[in-house]
C-alpha cells in the first residue's frame, strides 16, 4: 500500500510513500502497462457483476456475444495486452447507481487505463475523474480516456470545453471521432481504441503521429482548429491526406501522455517492489537504507537504458531525518521526450 503523503499528517499504514515534487529540472516520466479496464453494460448471457480478462476477440465473442464486443475489439486493435471487463448488473431500483457500483468494483482490480464503452453524461464524467483523482491519492495510478457524442464532435469548441472541465494529469479527452470503413464512431465510441493504444505503447515512445485504424475522421478540423485544440490539451485525430493519425499525445492538463505514464510506472513499481522485498525486512539503519536506495536506483537505471529518463539521483532526503520506522528519500531525474517538432533552416 502506498500513496501521496503530507509532512504535516503522515500516513499510518505501513508502506513506502512517494511525494512527487514537480520541478523544471526534475520531472517524473515513464512507462505504462497493457491492461485496459472496461465496464460492459450489454454482455449477452455472461454472468452479471463479474470480471473477465480478455486477450482475444474470439474469447470475447464467445462470452458476451458478437454484437456486444465492439469496444473490446477496439481496445485490442489499439494494442492493449488485455481487457479487464466488468459486466455491470442492471439497476433493480431507481436508488441504484450502476456507475458508482462499477467504479467501486474496479477499486480492487489492477489496470492501467480506464474507459467507458460509449457516451456518458457530464455528471458521470466528472464523477469518474474525481474517482481517478481519489485513487491516485490512495496510491493507485491509472489514466482515464473520455470522449463525446457525434453532436459534440461537430463543434471542436464543445470538445475543448469538455477538456477544460476534465483538466487533470491523468485524463485524456478525445474530441474527434473516426470513420472506420464507413462506420462512424463518435469520440466517446472511439475512446476505447485510444485507451488500447495508450496502454499498448512502450514507455519510451509517444503516441504523437501514431496511425490509427480508421479511414477518415468524423470531422476534419482546420489548421486553426487543430492549433486551438492542442493549446486546450485536447486529443485530436487528423486525416493527413493519406491516413488518420493522432496529432499530439496530450492529457487534458496539456502535459504529455508519455510523461504521465512514466509517473504512473514509477509510483506503481517502486512501492510494489518495496512491499514485496523491503518493507518489514530491512533494518532502518545505514546498511538497510543503502540497500533500499540501491534497489530504487537499479529500477531507474533500467528506465534510463530504455531512453525513458536520464540524470537520475537517489538518496536520503536531507530535509527530513530517516529514523524509527520511517525513511525519506529524494529522487530526481530528467525525462527524455520524443522528437515532435523539427525546425529546418535551409540555405540556398
pLDDT of residue 294: 82
Q: Is 72 exposed, middle or buried (0-12, 13-18, 19+ CB in 10 A)?
A: buried
pLDDT at position 318, please?
93
Distance (Å, rounded) from C-alpha 37 to C-alpha 108?
Answer: 12
> Which residue matches cell numbers 464512431?
185
Asked if residues 158 and 148 have their Cβ atoms less than 8 Å apart, the reply is yes
Q: Quick one: CATH architecture of 35-255? A: 2-Layer Sandwich (3.30)
Cell of 93: 431500483
Say if residue 258 is exposed, middle or buried (CB neighbours under 10 Å; 0-12, 13-18, 19+): buried
Q: Measure the CA–CA gap between 90 and 99, rounded to whole angstroms.
A: 11
What integer is the mean pLDDT of 81-102? Answer: 90
C-alpha distance from residue 87 to each of 64, 82, 228, 257 (Å): 9, 16, 38, 28
- Of 117 and 203, the structure prediction assigns the larger pLDDT to 117
* CA angle at 14 for the pair 22 and 108, rounded to the nearest 5°: 80
Q: Which residues are CB-contacts of 285 (< 8 A; sequence separation ≥ 6)?
A: none
pLDDT of residue 308: 79
Is 8 buried (19+), middle (13-18) or exposed (0-12) by CB count in 10 A?
exposed
Instruction: Give alpha helix (H) positions in 33-184.
Output: 57-64, 70-78, 98-106, 122-137, 150-153, 156-165
3 state DSSP class of 197: helix
Q: Are 166 and 127 in contact (CB under 8 A)?
A: no
pLDDT in tens, 138-154: 999 999 999 999 999 99
pLDDT on residue 132: 98
Residue 64 burial (10 A CB sphere; 0-12, 13-18, 19+): buried
Whether 31 shows a pLDDT value over 60: the answer reads no
**Domain definitions of the chain by residue range:** 1-29+260-348, 35-255
pLDDT at 21 over 50: no
Say what the pLDDT of residue 332 is.
83
Query: Which band of pLDDT confidence, cut at 50, 70 and 90, is reported for residue 344?
Result: low
Global confidence as pTM: 0.89
Amino acid at each position: 500500500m502506498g500513496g501521496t503523503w503530507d509532512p504535516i499528517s503522515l500516513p499510518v499504514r505501513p508502506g513506502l510513500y512517494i511525494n512527487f515534487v514537480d520541478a523544471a529540472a526534475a520531472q517524473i516520466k515513464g512507462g505504462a502497462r497493457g491492461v485496459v479496464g472496461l465496464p460492459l453494460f450489454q454482455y449477452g448471457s455472461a454472468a452479471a457483476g463479474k470480471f473477465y480478462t480478455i486477450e482475444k476477440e474470439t474469447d470475447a465473442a464467445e462470452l458476451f456475444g458478437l454484437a456486444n464486443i465492439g469496444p473490446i475489439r477496439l481496445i485490442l486493435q489499439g494494442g492493449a495486452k488485455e481487457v479487464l471487463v466488468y459486466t455491470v448488473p442492471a439497476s433493480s431500483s431507481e436508488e441504484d447507481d450502476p456507475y458508482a457500483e462499477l467504479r467501486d468494483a474496479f477499486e480492487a482490480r489492477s489496470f492501467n487505463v480506464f474507459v467507458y464503452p460509449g457516451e456518458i453524461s457530464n455528471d458521470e464524467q466528472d464523477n469518474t475523474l474525481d474517482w481517478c483523482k481519489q485513487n491516485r491519492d490512495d496510491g493507485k495510478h491509472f489514466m482515464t480516456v473520455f470522449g463525446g457524442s457525434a453532436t459534440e464532435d461537430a463543434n471542436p469548441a464543445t470538445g475543448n470545453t469538455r477538456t477544460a472541465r476534465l483538466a487533470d494529469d491523468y485524463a485524456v479527452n478525445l474530441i474527434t471521432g473516426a470513420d472506420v470503413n464507413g462506420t462512424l464512431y463518435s469520440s466517446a465510441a472511439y475512446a476505447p481504441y485510444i485507451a488500447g493504444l495508450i496502454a499498448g505503447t512502450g514507455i519510451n515512445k509517444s503516441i504523437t503521429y501514431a496511425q490509427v485504424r480508421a479511414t477518415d475522421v468524423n470531422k476534419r478540423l482546420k489548421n486553426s482548429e487543430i492549433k486551438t485544440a492542442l493549446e486546450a490539451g485536447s486529443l485530436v485525430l487528423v486525416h493527413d491526406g493519406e491516413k488518420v493519425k493522432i496529432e499530439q499525445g496530450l492529457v487534458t492538463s496539456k502535459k504529455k501522455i508519455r510523461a504521465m505514464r512514466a509517473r504512473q510506472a514509477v509510483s506503481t513499481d517502486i512501492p510494489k517492489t518495496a512491499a514485496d522485498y523491503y518493507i518489514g525486512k530491512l533494518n532502518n539503519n545505514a546498511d538497510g537504507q543503502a540497500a533500499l536506495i540501491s534497489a530504487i536506483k537499479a529500477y531507474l537505471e533500467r528506465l534510463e537504458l530504455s531512453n525513458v529518463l536520464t540524470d537520475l539521483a537517489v538518496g536520503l532526503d536531507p530535509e527530513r531525518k530517516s529514523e524509527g520506522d520511517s525513511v525519506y528519500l529524494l529522487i530526481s531525474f530528467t525525462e527524455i521526450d520524443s522528437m515532435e517538432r523539427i525546425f529546418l533552416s535551409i540555405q540556398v
